[in-house]
Amino acid sequence: MDELKKSNLDEKTIAMAKGLIADAVQKAGSGHPGSAISMTPIVYTLYQYVLRHNPLDPKWEGRDRFILSSGHASLAQYVQLFLAGYLTLDDIKGYRTMNSKTPGHPEYGLTEGIEMTTGPLGQGISTAVGFAMASRFESALLGSDLFSHEVWTLCGEGDIEEGVSGEASSLAGTQKLGNLFAIFDCNRIQIEGDTSITLTEDVLERYKSYGWYTDRVSFETPEGYKEDVQALLRAVKKARKVTDRPHFIQVDTVIAWPTPGKAGSEKTHGSPLGEDAVRALKKELGLDEGRTFQVDPDLLARARGAIKRGEEAERAWMAGFEAWKAQNPEAASLHDRLQAGRLPEGFDKAIDDLEASLSLDPLPTRASSGKALNAIAKVMPELWGGSADLGGSNNTVIEGAASFGPEGSGTKQWPNSGPSGRVVHFGVREFAMGAVTNGILLGSKTRSFGGTFLQFVDYERAAVRLAALMDIPNIFILTHDSVALGEDGPTHQPIEQISSLRAMPNLDVIRPCDAFETCEAWRQIFKKEGTAPSALILTRQKVPALALAKEEVPALALAKEKAKEGLPKGAYVLKGGEEDDVILMASGSEVSLILEASEELEKMGIRARVVSVPCMEWFDRQPLSYRRSVMPEEIGARVAVEAASPMSWYKYVGLSGRCVCIDRFGLQGSGAENMKALGMTVENVVKNALEALREE
């Protein structure tokens, strides 16, 4: 096909796609037509000429990944998914309707061809960094470039303005991610108008300073506005020659072009164009003004050529894959296990052996967690991660492992570094860490984790929420979990964080009480049903193993047995009988406190049931009969104890119960002083138990 005819067919297909976008928003009565219309030439070029993908096999392992960071412009992608063969025209007509495959913002797991949920600006381009890192790591893990692919993301000014994009882009430059490509749709418009009121820096220079390759394509030419697919393709070809840096290509566009009277206007961002404007747009595009959802069958057939190209690419990849598999049986076995989602042989034994080595000596749960993490890492080569510059404090360093990074990027402190490194240094970038680890999970079959102080989960909360929304099994390690951390003071002492995390749907919040519960928490994170993310809440201070026997050997056995049986259920009776008078319940470090309080109550002739509640989400999913066996309805006297906000405990204590918790910010004292001053004492627990008994 000659270049002129090819270019003409591109223009006609792009025009048809713009008409579909305008009609879909108009039919829905809401949406974001402006950016979707002006981004269409970019997304069309990617799906028809750049991306390696197969519409008949959206999960093909060898595909390139595309992430629409500007999720509000979802129709730009949906329409190209329709043209390429992923979706139907009815899907486009169902835009923003209940139970459709085309919601207002792309949703992971709902629509074929959508790699992640986007909409919260900045997170798409940031998570794309994780996708690119995952491709590098998985290729090194399996020893083949077969598992390397390109990661493309399309972003706008709103993405660039969000701080997380800067965090993640800086990290991507440091990592020299040559497989990462970002296209910046620069239309200089956002909801409040011209971006010159909010964004004045030279964005290309900014990305150059991060260590990215940069280029610029402008659709605004001296001869007029021209959506030049060939110019964009030339820029892509040029960028691909640079393999040691991520790539940032700015494309200058006009929002909603060529809608008469509305192109370039912020009013097209989040509202339908209106019937008159849609008709005028169609006239400009050479479409039938009186028809809606018009599709030229010849143009559609040409666009559906993506299917044939995709099948050919997948067949070629599969031939290489079968040859690799035959030559690399050990790596192939690992690959197959990862694809099947199976745990490695020896997983349970690794944890069992660790528990057998534990003593009754007090230990911070962050230290117990580090031991469990390393025990698992020895048998699970796909496990990798790090922390936000807190590796030693969070106990997130995989012992003996290299740092993840480009070859030759080691430092004095971390001399060994490379693509197969399992220790990720995120820097002080909590939000980016959450987004990147989400991307690692979405972009590969490996398992990721990230650690910070519990207080600073507020910085990465939006990424935690997106992990929960997408239902992906990220592991958020959150240490220094209470005022007991001490002299760092109230800025570092979490209060409301645990309850606020528990308020988040589909997030398992786990606060183990000792070394055995911590080990079992790690076991359950990998063995539980479902793929919800986990927030593992851990202490800085030492906590005792909950021994219920006098001799060390039976005490150890009993502590291990109780934790192994009870922790997966979320809450369990640590101590109690059939005729208890009061229930004392707690999580984490406060379980040892209520155990001591129960002994004081016993001296008064009061039988106290001690309930450890490491994970409310798991407990609430248990059958009612089990929940009642742990917290019998007939025992109305209840006391919940946690060195944090009481909000999440009221559902368990009832009207006559008591919460010994903290509803103010922390103090400047030592951990022990803070706990005493804020009521985390045996005396206060006993006092509240007696009051609960009187009011029962």
Residue 477, number of CB atoms within 10 A of its CB: 25
Q: Measured in whole angstroms, how far is the alpha carbon of residue 293 from the centre of its chain?
A: 36
Helix (H, G, I), strand (E, B) or coil at 160: helix
Preceding omega of 258 cis (within 30 degrees of 0)? yes
In the chain, CATH 3.40.50.970 sits at 3-312, 347-543
E-assigned strand segments in 333-468: 363-364, 383-387, 403-404, 417-418, 423-425, 447-453
Of 177, 197, 180, nearest in space to 188 by CA: 197
Is 345 in the active site? Answer: no
The pLDDT value given to residue 1: 55
pLDDT tens digits, one per residue of 668-678? 999 999 999 99
Radius of gyration of the chain from Cα atoms? 28
Of 292, 288, 295, nearest in space to 23 by CA: 292
Token pair for residue 174? 């440091």
Query: Is residue 34 predicted with pLDDT exceeding 60?
Result: yes
Q: Measured in whole angstroms, how far is the alpha carbon of residue 544 from the centre of its chain?
A: 33
DSSP 617-636: HHHHTS-HHHHHHHS-TT--
pLDDT tens digits, one per residue of 114-131? 999 999 999 999 999 999
Using the Cα atoms of residue 308, residue 311, residue 315 and residue 317 in order, give the sign of their dihedral.
Answer: positive
Quick one: CA torsion of 116, 119, 125, 130, rounded to 10 degrees? -40
Which residue is associated with the tokens 């960071």? 69
pLDDT band per the 50, 70, 90 thresholds, residue 657: very high
The pLDDT value given to residue 558: 78
Crossing angle between the packed helical segments 430-443 and 123-142, to the nearest 10 degrees? 50
Token pair for residue 271? 């509202």
Q: Which helix (H) or strand (E) holds 659?
A: strand 658-660
What's this model's pTM, rounded to 2 decimal places? 0.97
The pLDDT value given to residue 550: 52
Please give the CATH topology (third level) of the domain spanning 347-543: Rossmann fold (3.40.50)
Query: Is residue 547 predicted with pLDDT exceeding 70?
Result: no
Q: Strand 213-218's sheet: what is its strand order?
A: 65-68, 151-155, 180-186, 247-252, 213-218
| Share of the chain residues as helix, strand and coil, in percent rounded to the nearest 5 | 50, 15, 40
Token pair for residue 43? 């997304």
pLDDT band per the 50, 70, 90 thresholds, residue 475: very high
pLDDT tens digits, one per residue of 69-99? 999 999 999 999 999 999 999 999 999 999 9
Helix (H, G, I), strand (E, B) or coil at 641: strand
Token pair for residue 625? 């009969």
Distance (Å, whole) CA 342 – CA 73: 37
Distance (Å, whole) CA 47 – CA 33: 20
Are the beta carbons of 520 and 512 closer than 8 angstroms? yes
Distance (Å, whole) CA 511 – CA 616: 9
Residue 85, number of CB atoms within 10 A of its CB: 21
Which residue is associated with the tokens 């240490």? 479
Q: Name the percent of the chain lying above pLDDT 70.
A: 98
Helix (H, G, I), strand (E, B) or coil at 122: coil
Please give the CATH topology (third level) of the domain spanning 567-695: Rossmann fold (3.40.50)
Amino acid occupying residue 289 = E
pLDDT tens digits, one per residue of 269-322? 999 999 999 999 999 999 999 999 999 999 999 999 999 999 999 999 999 999
Helix (H, G, I), strand (E, B) or coil at 213: strand
Beta-bridged to residue 582, according to DSSP, are 608
Residue among 162, 430, 517, 590 flagged as catalytic: 430
Distance (Å, whole) CA 465 – CA 86: 28
Distance (Å, whole) CA 136 – CA 131: 9
In the chain, CATH 3.40.50.920 sits at 567-695
Which residue is associated with the tokens 């971006």? 195
pLDDT tens digits, one per residue of 356-408? 999 889 999 999 999 999 999 999 999 999 999 999 999 999 999 999 999 99
Token pair for residue 560? 């291990």
Please give the CATH topology (third level) of the domain spanning 3-312: Rossmann fold (3.40.50)
